[in-house]
Amino acid sequence: MKNKKLQGNVRDAAFSILWAVENKQAYSNLLLHQTIESYGIAAKNRGLLTEITYGTLQHQMTLDYYLEPYLKGKIEPWVKTLLRLSLYQIVYLDRIPAHAVVHEAVEIAKRRGHGGVASVVNGVLRSVQRNGVRSFNTISDPYEKISIETSHPIWMIRRWAEQFGLEKTREMALENNKTPLQTVRVNTTRATVEEVIEMLESEELEAVPSKFIPECLIVTNGQPARTATFEKGFITIQDESSMLPAYALQVEPDMTVLDMCAAPGGKTTHIAEKMNNSGTLYALDLHAHKVKLIDETAKRLGHKVIETEVGDGKKSVERFGEEKFDRILVDAPCSGLGVIKRKPDIKYTKKEEDFARLQKIQLELLDQAARLLKEGGILVYSTCTVDAMENRGTAEQFLKEHPEMEKIQAALPAAMGIKHTGFVQVFPQDYGSDGFFIAAFQKTQKTATA
Ligand SMILES: C[S@@+](CC[C@H](N)C(=O)[O-])C[C@H]1O[C@@H](n2cnc3c(N)ncnc32)[C@H](O)[C@@H]1O
């Protein structure tokens, strides 16, 4: 394939992102921002670029199922990528005329390949246009049907169905293909929710309060990250589920708190707000470049209690000593299956063997946290994933290994109406937020080895 990009062209830009995701295992969300810059995509076309890129990734397996009967012989992988993104527009986007999609695809095929490739692309897309796409009704296996219909790998569907049932799995997989809500957290140390709504309105955005979390706003129109309200530190971009750990921690001013896996600092800064900026809040992360992001956000928001550090949570007893903290959050590195809506590439890059490896890391981090915690202190373990082994399995294993720790009910906002027995799995379809897991523990006695 020739590397002949066409500046300013939305489809060519989408193609280059999708090809890099597939070919170089690049992350779509990071690439999207870079590509908007490098291609010089006009502001009015950015929404379309996002829609085509994410939509094609979200529906990739479904698109392949639709394409298969039309592909004769061997086809180069990049041509398949081009066909997927073109078919996505024909099948899923009503407002774009099919002939325009075919024309653009043929132009890209000519520029990046040659006349022969262009004629294959033209032939396939015109045949689909004429004959339509096949239905899922001929797929008799229920797991395979959900897998193809919602474009999730079959192992993931089987695994979820075994853990949560087929119906819940289907609901979750369908939800994962929806556009995520845009939510922001109001910096309550600086302004009230009402004041922030007014500020956003004065910048021509529309925002409504969430039904579940008092400081959460749902932005229904506009880009909050590009506002003065954001720049001046009145809001943080954060998913609603990610606002739960700061509640579960039950922090109070003047406490000593550790956020063990803190970057980029979404939860650290929320905890600082709940501490009303009084006390000490250590924010640790393994990666220096990510710790910088916590510093930047804390500065923007005007938070003074946060002490950032680059360090390995697995060695944090060595660093801080035992029984030092009133509260600890372990927002652990995880498989991320709760954020598929935002990062659809996760569906295709995760492997089933990842869960055991992640569980091992999480248990090591939690083990350190138990030792760092003062008697009577609270530890919250959270992940942005939906997997029973990784979440509940880790929490249960942790309790087995730590008789000094007791499971307690996570203190979550009452409006969420969560009836739980100590561990909370939020599914993406429950509130339209990310899939998320929270477990809270209290230390009932000193660590035996202390
Ligand atoms: C789920 S993210 C944390 C998100 C963060 N709590 C927030 O709300 O913005 C997990 C983080 O754990 C960090 N991490 C991974 N292994 C770690 C370790 N051994 N010690 C400390 N941090 C680690 C990663 O760099 C990553 O930033």
Closest Cα to atom 12 of ligand 1 = 261
Q: Is 395 annotated as a binding residue?
A: no
Question: Rounded mean pLDDT of the chain?
Answer: 94
| Confidence class for position 23, pLDDT limits 50, 70, 90 | confident
Q: Select the more confidently predicted residue: 110 or 29.
A: 110
Is there a binding annotation on residue 266?
A: yes
Q: Name the CATH superfamily for 182-237.
A: Sun protein; domain 3 (3.30.70.1170)
Best residue for ligand 1 mutational test, from 285, 289, 308, 310 (most atoms within 8 Å of Cβ)? 285
**What length is written for the chain?**
450
Q: How far is the CA of 18 from the centre of ligand 1 (A)?
A: 27
Q: Is residue 25 pLDDT above 90, yes or no? A: no
Query: Does 216 qualify as catalytic in the annotation?
Result: no
In the structure, what pLDDT confidence band is assigned to residue 128 with cuts at 50, 70 and 90?
A: very high
**Which pLDDT score is estimated for 449?**
59
Residue 450 has pLDDT above 70, yes or no: no
* 319 touches ligand 1 (CB under 6 Å): no
The full set of domain ranges for the chain reads 10-131, 142-175, 182-237, 241-443
Q: How far is the CA of 311 from the centre of ligand 1 (A)?
A: 10
Q: Is 262 annotated as a binding residue?
A: yes
Q: Is 286 in the pocket of ligand 1 (CB under 6 A)?
A: yes
pLDDT digits 0-9 by tens, 220-275: 998 999 999 999 999 999 999 999 999 999 999 899 999 999 999 999 999 999 99
Nearest CA to ligand 1 atom 2: 333
- Comparing 113-122, 175-184, 392-401, the range with the smallest average pLDDT is 113-122
Tell me, letter by letter, the H, E, C secondary structure of the chain: CCCCCCCCCHHHHHHHHHHHHHHHCCCHHHHHHHHHHHHCCCHHHHHHHHHHHHHHHHCHHHHHHHHHHHCCCCCCHHHHHHHHHHHHHHHHCCCCCHHHHHHHHHHHHHHHCCHHHHHHHHHHHHHHHHHCCCCCCCCCCHHHHHHHHHCCCHHHHHHHHHHHCHHHHHHHHHHCCCCCCEEEEECCCCCCHHHHHHHHHHCCCEEEECCCCCCEEEEEECCHHHCHHHHCCCEEECCCHHHHHHHHHCCCCCEEEEECCCCCCHHHHHHHHHCCCCEEEEEEECCHHHHHHHHHHHHHHCCCCEEEEECCHHHHHHHHCCCCEEEEEEECCCCCHHHCCCCCCHHHHCCCCHHHHHHHHHHHHHHHHHHHEEEEEEEEEEECCCCCHHHHHHHHHHHHHCCCEEEECCCCCHHHCCCCCCEEEECHHHHCCCCEEEEEEEECCCCCCC
pLDDT value of residue 26: 76
Backbone angles phi, psi at 440, to 5 degrees: -120, 140
Residue 5 pLDDT exceeds 80: no
Task: Give me the CATH code for the 241-443 domain, please.
Answer: 3.40.50.150
| pLDDT tens track for 304-341 | 999 999 999 999 999 999 999 999 999 999 999 999 99
- Residue 419: the pLDDT is 74
Identify whether the C-beta of residue 386 lies closer than 8 Å to the C-beta of residue 338: yes
Mean pLDDT of 364-368: 98
ipTM metric: 0.99
Kindly name the residue from 384, 405, 426, 438 that is annotated as catalytic.
384
Residue whose CB lies within 8 A of the most ligand 1 atoms, among 270, 286, 291, for a mutation test:
286
**Superfamily for 10-131?**
NusB-like (1.10.940.10)
| pLDDT of 338 | 98
399-433, pLDDT tens digit by residue?
Answer: 999 999 999 999 999 888 887 677 999 999 999 99
| HSE of 101, CA atoms in CB hemisphere, 13 A | 26
Digit-coded pLDDT (tens) for 28-46? 888 898 999 999 999 899 9
Question: Does 333 contact ligand 1 (Cβ within 6 A)?
Answer: yes
| Structure confidence by residue, pLDDT tens digits, 45-85 | 999 999 999 999 999 999 999 999 999 888 999 999 999 99
Residue 312 beta carbon below 6 angstroms from any ligand 1 atom: yes
CB of 290 shorter than 6 A to ligand 1: yes
Residues 198-209: what's their mean pLDDT?
Answer: 97
- Residues above pLDDT 70, as percent of the chain: 99
> What pLDDT score does 3 carry?
78
pLDDT of residue 285: 98
Is the confidence at residue 92, as pLDDT, over 70?
A: yes
Confidence at residue 72, expressed as pLDDT on a 0 to 100 scale: 87
338 ligand 1 Cβ < 6 A: no
